[in-house]
Amino acid sequence: MSYRKKYLKIAVLSVLVSLLAGAVVILILGKNPLSAYYNLLQGCGLAPKAKYAGGKSMFTDLSSYIDYLTPMLFAALSYAVAMRAGLFNIGISGQMLVAGFISSVTIGYSTLSAPVAKPLVLLIGIVSGMAVGALIGFFKYRFNINEVVSSIMLNYIAEYVISFFIHVKYVDPVSRQSRNISDAARLTLHQIVIGGYKYDIPIGFILAVLAVFVLKFVFDRTVLGYELRAVGLNPTAARYAGIHVGRNLVLSMTISGALAGLAGVTYYLGYFASIQPRVLVSTGYDAIAVGLLGNNDPVGILAASFLIEIIGKGSTYMSSQAGLQSEIASVITGLILLASACNAFFMNRLDRRQAAKEELHRKKEEGGIQKGERV
Amino acid sequence: MADDQYIVEMNHITKRFPGIVANDDVTVKIRKGEIYALLGENGAGKSTLMSMLFGMYEPDEGQIIVRGKEEKITSPSYAAGLNIGMVHQHFKLVSNYTIAENIILGNEPVRKAFGLFPYVDIKSANDNIRKLSEQYGLEVNPTDVIEDVNVSTRQRVEILKMLYRQAEILIFDEPTAVLTPQEIDSLLKIIKNLRDGGKTIILITHKLEEIKRVADRCAILRRGKLIGVYDVPSMDTKEMANLMVGREVELTLQRKPAHFGDVVLDVENLHVENADHFEVVKGVSFQIHAGEIFAIAGVSGNGQTEIADAIAGLLRTTQGSIRILGREISSFTIRERTKTGISYIPEDRQSVGLILDFNLAEDLALRNYYESPFAKKSVLQKKTFEDYGNRLIGKYDIRSASGNDTIVRSMSGGNQQKAIVGREIEQDAPLTIFVQPTRGLDIGAIENIHRQILEERDKGKAVLLISLELDEVMQLADTIGVIYNGELRKTAPAADFTTSEVGEYMMGVKRS
């Protein structure tokens, strides 16, 4: 069995086990797990609801789900790029916030027209995320500061500094959040009416899918991908081979930061149009689950984020329909993370079983196996 | 019913690990007061068999009889209770304790001050150990701290540890692997003394000479199976080697006379510090010509690997010059040095020479992946990787489960080394550095690598060989430099040295 096949088997298994465990929890709460899971699909526009409000259809829900999914896809890709080089970027949420804030105050509150504003938002998002990522990579390379420590610290700095500025300068007195950005700068075309139905069309999604395939190519087919993987798997051997380890560390954090920046602008200037002060979104952390489940492979991540976000997005509808707490969704997501984090263990079990099978097979062929013999 | 003449009987022992059968129906019977050798290649199952006698594993099938009584040996302390002791290949000592403290550890003589407060009676322990060491001719000073004493003293401490615990059956696991020839002589003498003193000795080794010199009987294992038990005096080493490997082996290498060309590597007054800023290479100078094998002999930890790392650029030099074909390279990056003409087979093949989670094709391209034809405009050419991999797999006989796609971690040590050697030789660099190229390999693989080192030399390459195996140095080198404490104590043509002379320089007792 190839590595990829084996991994897929484990991923599917861990999702099934998690859903099963979630079902038990729902049963204990006295609800029907099957209808609760069906509610999740309905909430994402993947199954028809019984009835829709005026101007809404299944595809309205689907477009909104895709819109919700986009930042997660970028964030999980960001996690994967760092992981390739063996770095654990736990600061994705902070990098998202920095990118979202800088783009909001520079472009979001400007009067630029849409064709100018939207590309600029993307560009500024990329650059500001990149800057934070590069800083973390540089700390690691120059001063050997663990990236986990520096990115967590930067998360706090971003959270409090930005909330200070929002409070003193950009606050909306009613919502207590930052003021809404202009529609021209927003990356989601909000409440667009086509054929009598309303849709939220996320421009960033196209870019995210593009990023999936670009990264897939970079990882598997380029010199950079080879070097990143070498550095991630064995920095000593990479150095022996003449690879500049430090440069690759900084580079991977820079790309990771850029993708986190894109996650930030598609979140704060796309799905939402404002920033809630003193809150770090959970997307950056959930991205780790998605990355793990997707085996840090861009295409795997695309599939994993679709799956995980069904649970996240559908939970609101589920809780209204089935009368379940929407936190149940977080429980299931957590279980999936736990199960896929154990993949090394399962992988080992599979290997051992396979080895035992081969041994048995070999013995049989040699004709030496006796009835009742322990193998 | 057990036979009285045997002190240990291991009958029909089978032990399986996932994927392999380490011991397959092995029966050995050991007489009281003999030196019994277990001979076999790496992975033949010698250590596994003895680990079961020592209680580290339990057999899946079979029985162990000690002194006529069937025993289930569940732990090393149970084995110790049966007066079985083992000297491991890697010493298990606390390095900042004294020799006496190490020996009594876990078995301390406790006395009570004023009949109340318990304390360890180190004084009487020191005296006892001194007496014990005199009795068996194992000279140690009980109050020395382990980190200050040399390898052979540490080994004597391990032996004393067993004797202190009244071991009657002593298992030695590859005891000579780390010793110089003089130290080996004295160890073999000690082993004989112990036997003459009534102890039973089990010697695990793959060195035929030693068995010939001390053992009474020897059991040969191959791939987990017992090939046979032989009386040592009735056999020669050649027969033993053939039985061990399972085919005819060449024990002596065919070497052509050397033809030296121009100077390829010129090292002058090289100073190197290790990671702790401790000077480990102190002003070393030597030259290697085309067509010459220059070997650096020395006891482990005298600065020899640092010389190799400094030439390859993995360690920074603090002073001195390194020239390849007249070009000064000491300020070059690692890749620039490789390009200038250095191939390097590092000491630690698994953590330096290979990326174990890469597949074989990727690891074979580790030196070339970025340049044409492996990469065009930064895009890797999978076809080139495959073709190149296949070519090297064939040429260097690299065996693996699924060729190019095999994850290197799953390959055997010998084949991993073949992959590195193949990759580095293919660079066709004027200088090739081999550090411990045959460490941990079996006879077949060693033969193969030695042949390739000689081929490199005959092709007119300069070869720097750094090895702790003195036999290897004596067999291959044209010129030998002996290193001690970071200095080359003596450099001369190999023909001018005898093995024991090299040994004396290695230990620092002789200087020129």
A269 with A124: CB under 8 angstroms?
no
CB within 8 Å: A230 and B366: yes
Alpha-carbon gap, residue A328 to A43, rounded angstroms: 15
In order, the DSSP letters of A105-137 are IIIITS---HHHHHHHHHHHHHHHHHHHHHHHH
Output phi, psi for B310, to 5 deg.
Answer: -70, -40
Reduced to 3 states (helix: H, G, I; strand: E, B; else coil), residue A139 is helix
Q: Does A238 touch chain B (CB under 8 A)?
A: yes
B33 has pLDDT over 70: yes
CATH code, domain with B290: 3.40.50.300
Of B60, B334, B367, the CB nearest to A239: B334
d(CA B334, CA A111): 53
Instruction: Give the SS3 label for residue B15.
Output: strand
Residues in chain A: 375
Residue B244 CA to residue A71 CA, distance in Å, equals 63
Cβ(A313)–Cβ(A60) below 8 Å? no
Number of domains in chain A: 1
The helix/strand/coil state of B287 is strand
Does residue B366 sit within a domain?
no
Q: Residue A92 domain-assigned?
A: yes
In 3-state terms, what secondary structure has residue B314?
coil
A304 touches A287 (CB < 8 A)? no
Please give the Cα distance from A127 to A135 (Å, whole number): 12
CATH number of the domain encompassing residue A218: 1.10.3470
Give domain status of residue A148, yes or no: yes
Q: Considering all CA atoms of chain A, what is the largest pairwise distance in Å, rounded to the nearest integer?
A: 84
Interface contact B352, partner A, CB < 8 A: yes
Give φ, ψ of A50 to 5 degrees. Answer: -65, -45
How much is the pLDDT for A360?
A: 63
B94 touches chain A (CB under 8 A): no
Torsion angle, alpha carbons of B279, B280, B282, B286, to 10:
-150
Say if the Cβ atoms of A223 and B375 lie within 8 Å.
Answer: yes
Q: What is residue A258's predicted lDDT score, i.e. its pLDDT?
A: 98
Strands B317-324 and B327-328, bridge-based pairing: antiparallel
Question: Does B380 contact A225 at a Cβ distance shorter than 8 Å?
Answer: yes
Residue A248: half-sphere exposure toward Cβ, Cα within 13 Å: 25
Tokens of B105: 């550890």
Strand ranges in chain A using DSSP code E only, listed in sequence order = 188-194, 197-202
Cα–Cα distance between A186 and A275 in angstroms, integer?
13
Q: What is the pLDDT of residue B257?
A: 87
Q: Is A348 in the B-facing interface, judged by CB distances under 8 Å?
A: no
Measured in angstroms, the CA of A7 and the nearest CA of chain B are apart by: 15
ipTM of the complex: 0.84
Helix (H) or strand (E) holding B37: strand B35-39
* A224–B378 C-beta distance less than 8 A: yes
Residue A34 lies in a domain: no
Asked if residue B181 is part of any domain, the answer here is yes
How high is the mean pLDDT of chain B? Answer: 90
User: Which segments within B274-426 are labelled E, that is strand?
Assistant: 279-289, 293-297, 317-324, 327-328, 342-345, 375-376, 379-380
| B213/B187 same-domain check | yes
Tell me, yes or no, whether A3 lies in a domain: no
Contact between chains at A222 and B351 (C-beta distance less than 8 A): no
Q: How far is CA B5 from CA B27, B32, B50, B67, B146, in A?
A: 16, 7, 20, 9, 39
Distance of CA B277 to the CA centre of its chain: 27
Nearest CB neighbour to B369, from listed A226, A244, A351: A226
Residue A214: Cβ within 10 Å count: 13
Residues B237 and B281 grouped into a single domain: no
**pLDDT tens-place string over residues B298-312:** 888 889 999 999 999
State residue A372's pLDDT score.
41
CB contact under 8 A, B21 and A359: yes
Q: What is the pLDDT of residue B429?
A: 96
Q: Which residues of A touch B20 (CB under 8 A)?
A: 359
Within a 10 A sphere around the Cβ of A366, how many other Cβ atoms?
8
How many other C-beta atoms can be found within 10 angstroms of the C-beta atom of residue B186? 16
Question: Tokens at residue A93, please?
Answer: 């949420």
- Indicate yes or no: CB of A233 within 8 angstroms of CB of B355: yes
* A222 in contact with chain B, both atoms CB, cutoff 8 A: yes
> CB-based contact (8 Å) between A241 and chain B?
yes
Chain B nearest-CA distance from A250, in A, is 19
pLDDT value at position B49? 92
- 10 Å CB burial of residue B405 (0-12, 13-18, 19+) is middle
Q: Report the pLDDT value the prediction gives residue B1, as an integer from 0 to 100.
A: 43
Q: Do B334 and A242 touch (CB under 8 A)?
A: yes
CA atoms within 13 A on the CB side of A117: 22
Alpha-carbon distance A8 to B361, whole Å? 24
Residues of A in contact with B429 (CB under 8 A): none
Give residue B151's pLDDT band: very low, low, confident or very high (50, 70, 90).
Answer: confident
CB contact under 8 A, B407 and A355: no
Beta strands B35-39 and B6-17: pairing type? unpaired
Which is nearest to B34 in space by CA: B228, B244, B200?
B200
The answer to whether residue A335 sits within a structural domain is no
Query: Where does a domain end: B177, B211, B245?
Result: B245
Residue B7 is classified by DSSP as E
Count, residues in chain B: 512
Q: Is residue B76 classed exposed, middle or buried when 0-12, 13-18 and 19+ CB atoms within 10 A define those classes?
A: middle
CB-closest option in B333, B338, B351 to A237: B351
Of the listed ranges B135-139, B200-204, B266-270, B410-414, the least confidently predicted one is B410-414
Structural domain count of chain B: 2
Per-residue pLDDT of A50-98, as tens digits, reads: 888 888 889 999 999 999 999 999 999 999 999 999 999 999 999 999 9
Asked, for residue A305, whether it belongs to a domain, the answer is no
Most B CBs within 10 Å, among A226, A233, A347, A373, to test the B interface: A226
Chain-centroid distance, C-alpha A344:
21
Alpha-carbon span B450 to B473, nearest angstrom:
10
Two structure tokens written together for A111: 């009067």
Query: If you count residue pairs, one on A and one on B, with CB atoms under 8 Å apart, how many are there?
Result: 73
Of A230, A242, A358, nearest to B355 by CB-CB distance is A230
Mutate to test the interface with B, among A216, A223, A374 (most CBs of B within 10 A): A223
Whether chain B has a CB inside 8 Å of the CB on A359: the answer is yes
Q: Given this model, what pLDDT does residue B114 score?
A: 84
| B375 at interface of A, judged by CB pairs closer than 8 A | yes
Enclosing domain of residue A60: 50-299
For residue B24, CA distances in Å to B221, B223, B246 come to 10, 9, 17
- Select from B453, B448, B440, B378 the least CA-distant residue to B418: B448
Cα distances (angstroms) measured from residue B145 to each of A273, B148, B157, B230, B273:
70, 6, 11, 42, 25
Q: List the strands of the sheet with B479-484, edge to edge.
A: B342-345, B431-435, B462-467, B293-297, B479-484, B487-493
Residue A67 lies in a domain: yes
Q: Inspect the interface and report whether the beta carbons of A355 and B19 lie closer than 8 Å.
A: yes
Residues B195, B329, single domain; the answer is no
Q: Are A33 and A323 in contact (CB under 8 A)?
A: no
Instruction: Look at residue B370 and tell me if it is in a domain.
Output: no
On whether both B34 and B126 belong to a single domain, the answer is yes
The pLDDT of residue B21 is above 50: yes
CB within 8 Å: B366 and A237? yes
Q: What pLDDT, in 10s, does the model give residues B79-96?
A: 989 999 998 877 889 989
Do B440 and B307 fall within a single domain?
yes
Residue B307 and residue B270: Cα distance in Å, rounded?
8
- pLDDT tens, position by position, A291-309: 988 989 999 999 999 999 9
Residues of B in contact with A86 (CB under 8 A): none
Does B140 map to a domain?
yes
* Contacting residues of A for B353, CB less than 8 Å apart: 237, 240
Domain assignment present for residue B147? The answer is yes
Contact A340, A293 (CB under 8 A): yes
Q: How far is CA A136 from CA A72, A145, A171, in A?
A: 21, 8, 30
End-to-end C-alpha distance for chain A, whole angstroms = 22
Q: Does A173 map to a domain? A: yes
Indicate the pairing of strand B61-66 with strand B110-113.
unpaired
How close is the nearest chain B Cα to the Cα of A245, in Å?
12
Beta strands in B166-260 (DSSP E): 169-173, 200-205, 217-222, 225-231
Same domain, B232 and B273: no
Res A334: pLDDT: 85
Q: Give the whole-angstrom CA distance, residue A343 versus residue B44.
A: 33
Tell which B residues from 118 to 177 touch A, by Cβ distance under 8 Å. none
- Regions in chain A scoring below 50 on pLDDT: 367-375
Range of the domain at B56: 6-245
User: What is the share, in percent, of chain B residues with pLDDT greater than 70?
Assistant: 98
Inter-chain touch A237–B354, beta carbons under 8 Å: yes
Residues B237 and B271 in one domain: no
Looking up tokens 């729902």 gives A26
